[in-house]
Amino acid sequence: MRKILTAAVLTALSVNQATALSCLKPDVAEAFQTAAASELSYVVLKGKFAFTAPPKTDEPQTRTIEATFDGRLLTGSGFTQQVSAPVEVNLRCEASWCADLQPETDYIAFVENQNNEKLIFDVGPCYGFAFQEPSQEDTKRVENCAQGGACERLNN
> What is the total count of domains within the chain?
1
Note whether 119 and 47 are within 8 A (CB). Answer: no
pLDDT in tens, 18-65: 456 678 889 999 999 999 999 999 999 999 999 997 777 778 888 899
- At 70 the pLDDT is 98
Note whether 113 and 41 are within 8 A (CB). Answer: yes
Domain membership flag for residue 16: no
Which percentage of the chain shows pLDDT scores above 90?
67
Domain membership flag for residue 19: no
Domain membership flag for residue 152: no
Domain membership flag for residue 154: no
- At 33 the pLDDT is 96
Cα–Cα distance, 30 to 108 (Å, whole number): 13
Q: For the residues 80-106, what does the mean pLDDT come to?
A: 93
Domain membership flag for residue 5: no
Cα–Cα distance, 108 to 141 (Å, whole number): 12
pLDDT in tens, 139-149: 999 999 999 99
CATH number at residue 64: 2.40.50
Domain membership flag for residue 33: yes
Full domain range(s) for residue 66: 24-146
Cα–Cα distance, 156 to 153 (Å, whole number): 9
